[in-house]
Amino acid sequence: MNLEEVLNFRRSVRRYITDKDLDTEKVKHCIELATLAPNSSNMQLWEFNHITNRELINKVAKASFSQPAVTTANQLVIFVTRQDLHRHRSKQIIAFERDNITQNSPAESHERRIKAREIYYNKAIPFLYARFFGLLGIVRKLITVTVSLFRPMFINTTEAEQRAVLHKSCALAAQTFMIAMANEGYDTCPIEGFDSRRIKKLLKLPAAAEINMIVSCGYRDGNKGIFGERFRVPFDEVYKQL
């Protein structure tokens, strides 16, 4: 399929064929492709929990209100944000960028570019991602809004706004995964209806981790899997050329 065919094939499937298995390695490869998704500052503050164990799928289904999209799924992928890993990810990026800049940039710019990356990932990123019961977010907001009075400034700096940034990046990875799955002829359904506290406990996630969404996977069960034709509002209502 070409890209347009893949996008038209992808539907949110609510019921799967229960006796037809997916190739686990192909699903894993689709998750690997999901890591190519664009994300804020290339921080990759995400985690992908690939569930193939039927007992665990059943437990997740119970915590997801026994929706058929989960109870009949052959496999699940749970997308998780990991803000708590921001310092570790920053160190990884800096280590990569030192070699990357040295190998791929003009020699006269090496020192300047490496220093800029170090300042950004050692100073700006901790400033944005550190959390302390919402208080640091308030301080950041006061500082950035004040600076924005004199020049353009990123002001979405409360802890809630930074969490939104993480979830947007993770959702881009989830969408990339679903497109990759459609390219394999596999079906998926993004799910937000679940008890996140129970899911975190099942996955043994740390307190700072957050569930972005569950994506169920399988083969659609004919017309039972999708609810007829796809509805989209008229394009003219959502498209604006300026």
pLDDT at 132: 85
| Domains, the chain | 3-84+161-226 (3.40.109.10)
DSSP states along 1-54: --HHHHHHH--B-S-B-TT----HHHHHHHHHHHTTS--GGG---EEEEEE--H
Helix count and strand count (H, E) for the chain = 12, 4
The pTM for the full model equals 0.94
- Mean pLDDT score of the chain: 96
Does residue 223 carry a pLDDT above 90?
no
Q: What are the pLDDT digits (tens) for 140-177? A: 999 999 999 999 999 999 999 999 999 999 999 999 99
Q: What's the first-to-final CA gap in the chain, in angstroms?
A: 33
The confidence band for 133, taking pLDDT boundaries of 50, 70 and 90, is confident
Predicted local distance difference test score (pLDDT) of residue 160:
93
Contact yes or no for 186/217 (Cβ under 8 A): yes
| Predicted pLDDT at 228 | 87
